Chain A
């Protein structure tokens, strides 16, 4: 093959390659436009829903991506209806909702259940944000001021405390750095990454997961369990959260953290545990179970000490794929179970309050 032929092939290859990539990107954008009314030119990804701010990170008012829709306050879900009392759900991705079908994340079901039972009295406002630690009280405080809730449901994600030994409460807040990647700017790459994740066989995912763990932990020996300082930091943050809620006039309700693994770990679930560890490679698998157990004990202990109602979801929601789409995120059925537990606790509390007020009035 002559040099000129090679050059010609290379130039044509480059031109057609670029044409093909452009076609893929245009197709992805037109596809999003027709399917989801997504903007043709602006970026469109889950990161559109959040922005850096003085509160660290917060939701973008009225932003939309796929099944996720933010309201004008920048929280997931519909606009609160005036004249109703507010209930806030504060937590991380488990509460924000990832795998449930639209409007089946547990805060939405709590609202539906309460309003069916209590004659349309409540808005349930989902202020949860993926990756948030409950110690981010400035964010919570801003939400309390905006919504003045009657109840605040707190569902912590203990794994977000892995690698930390100091409380977040009281620390200065800095805007969180933008975490956008190429997949946020190229719709085609975004779709390809998501499809690749879905289609990749289990064996391949396990190998990649193990590689990620190995590569992240080769410079630092992973620890077997989280030190007591981590739990102390969490305890301090819980204290701040409860104080902030009470100062804002709300009633806190704590929830223990439920996982795919249920009360006792089955050997068959170890692959899922490894999949979880991929996100936090510096803690060994059994350390996650230990962290969950200790955190849930802590939550129950704080509840007793502070007189805060506790929903023991960790003990009640069965583990396994029926209720969990991955290690911690709910399926529709899991979200329903969670919502039923929380709604019952609120109704129980409201009944007690009504009974108390009646007996005080009689006295």
Chain B
């Protein structure tokens, strides 16, 4: 059941909201567990089994660690439960998501070297959202281990925190420290939350249905063109940059909006990422819930910035490559992670030079800033080529085509892409200049204009949506 399906919008969501509002807090939680199970099982009821295993292991490990903490046992006692949790979680994720990829890769490598290692693969159905809920559940046990939060007493509260349907399938990856208190304590639904929730839902659907789904055929055509010209690649990659942004941030907005309608607060996942001025800035703005997760649970434990320069670079590369691999079991995701690791490292290396250039152009700070934004956007777009490509051959072919980026460019296609993304650009400029992500609350938006804007968004979503597509991040 997709957010953009009629059964969700007209059936599931209104019924769930209606019943939810009528129930007292504890019953609300039980009801949300049932509703979330129904939502998840609508794909395949068997998906509930690995989710139940993950949450049970983490609940048990957290309980043991909490008990150990109360008994003042040494850290090593807690560590074994943490390791059990991490190993079992990652084994489950590894089996479902990466087993066939590594088995195939190992076979290929062995064959290349002249060995026959006879590995076998399995017909594995990848449970939707497994990457998201594994990371979310892991953050819980790690936080309990670190003593940053107490283990929750109720399994069902923890189960709901992981399973809660708005964020289950594609995030934002919520931290236990912020979500579990919202589950255990009664939630307050204010008129402001409802207003913000509705805003996020309308804007999220607009981005998904009007922008992402209308860009999808252009992107698909560009990435399925044999031997594409530079112009085709340029337009295709730029279109994909906006497609994936609107698709994923649209999903996140809808998820955050639905959560707000129920009194929950989800973390911000996107903060104008294409206005980033450098790679580090980009990762502070793009998929924030994942990048902060990787920062807190991988980069920092590896040593983070507080180590030798070479090790910092190593940590960046490891973090980004694993971040790439998190997206999927394919070499292009690893390459994409490696590319972003390289950008982060290169930016650190070049920082003194960039600072000097910034000072040189200090007489026009605006121009320098926009120049860096443009450069970062171009670099990001190349990353999207790596991300979207279906094979390494295609990466090479398209990269070569980009040496002549305007060759064979189709003006009509450029106009079409420009027309589709123009509402997003207008809104993002308002958001950027006003500093308000809820752009209709900006000064430029009197109330009547906001009513007109919402109405137009709904009109365009209903009558000018593209062919409905599944959310890109559902596959991860």
Do A and B share a complex? yes
CB contacts (< 8 Å) of B7 on chain A: these are 201
Residue on B with the closest CB to A18?
B451
User: How near does chain A come to B378, taking the closest CB pair, in angstroms?
Assistant: 33
Q: Does A28 contact B (CB under 8 A)?
A: yes
Q: Does A174 contact B (CB under 8 A)?
A: no
Q: Which of B387-395, B435-443, B456-464 contacts A (4 or more CB under 8 A)?
A: B456-464
The CA-CA distance from A347 to B300 in the complex, in Å, is 83
A191 in contact with B463 given A20-B455, A23-B455, A199-B6 (CB within 8 Å): yes
Q: Does A195 contact B (CB under 8 A)?
A: yes
User: How near does chain B come to A183, taking the closest CB pair, in angstroms?
Assistant: 15
Residue on B with the closest CB to A194?
B463
The CA-CA distance from A24 to B7 in the complex, in Å, is 24
CB contacts (< 8 Å) of A224 on chain B: these are none
The CA-CA distance from A201 to B451 in the complex, in Å, is 30
Indicate if the CB atoms of A195 and B456 lie closer than 8 Å: no
A27 in contact with B462 given A20-B451, A201-B7 (CB within 8 Å): no
Indicate if the CB atoms of A28 and B6 lie closer than 8 Å: no
Q: Does A81 contact B (CB under 8 A)?
A: no
User: How near does chain B come to A131, taking the closest CB pair, in angstroms?
Assistant: 28
Indicate if the CB atoms of B456 and A23 lie closer than 8 Å: yes
The CA-CA distance from A28 to B448 in the complex, in Å, is 19
Q: Does A16 contact B (CB under 8 A)?
A: yes
Q: Which of A2-42 contact B (CB under 8 A)?
A: 16, 19-20, 23-24, 27-28, 31
Cβ contact of B455, chosen from A27, A31, A199, A201, cutoff 8 A: A27
CB contacts (< 8 Å) of A199 on chain B: these are 6
Interface size of B in residues (CB-CB distance below 8 Å): 13
The CA-CA distance from A188 to B462 in the complex, in Å, is 11
Report the number of A-B residue pairs with Cβ-Cβ less than 8 Å.
34
Cβ contact of A27, chosen from B6, B447, B454, B456, cutoff 8 A: B456
Indicate if the CB atoms of B455 and A24 lie closer than 8 Å: yes
> Binary interface profile of B, 1-42, with partner A (CB < 8 Å = 1, else 0)?
000001100000000000000000000000000000000000
CB contacts (< 8 Å) of A27 on chain B: these are 455-456, 459
User: How near does chain A come to B455, taking the closest CB pair, in angstroms?
Assistant: 4
Q: Is the interface of A mostly helix, strand, loop or mixed?
A: helix
The CA-CA distance from A199 to B465 in the complex, in Å, is 13
Q: Does B452 contact A (CB under 8 A)?
A: yes
CB contacts (< 8 Å) of B448 on chain A: these are 16, 19
User: How near does chain A come to B446, taking the closest CB pair, in angstroms?
Assistant: 12
> Binary interface profile of A, 258-298, with partner B (CB < 8 Å = 1, else 0)?
00000000000000000000000000000000000000000
User: How near does chain B come to A187, taking the closest CB pair, in angstroms?
Assistant: 11
Indicate if the CB atoms of B463 and A23 lie closer than 8 Å: no
The CA-CA distance from A24 to B459 in the complex, in Å, is 7
Residue on B with the closest CB to A191?
B463
Indicate if the CB atoms of A19 and B6 lie closer than 8 Å: no
The CA-CA distance from A359 to B7 in the complex, in Å, is 70
> Binary interface profile of B, 160-201, with partner A (CB < 8 Å = 1, else 0)?
000000000000000000000000000000000000000000
CB contacts (< 8 Å) of A191 on chain B: these are 463
CB contacts (< 8 Å) of B459 on chain A: these are 23-24, 27-28, 31, 188
The 10 A-B residue pairs with the shortest CB-CB distance in the complex, in nearest-first order: A23-B455, A20-B455, A27-B459, A16-B451, A23-B452, A19-B451, A20-B451, A24-B459, A199-B6, A24-B455
Interface residues of B (CB under 8 A from A): 6-7, 447-448, 451-452, 454-456, 459, 462-464
A-B contact pairs, 18 of them (CB 8 A): A16-B447, A16-B448, A19-B448, A19-B452, A19-B455, A20-B451, A23-B451, A23-B455, A23-B456, A27-B456, A28-B459, A31-B459, A188-B459, A191-B463, A195-B463, A199-B6, A201-B6, A201-B7
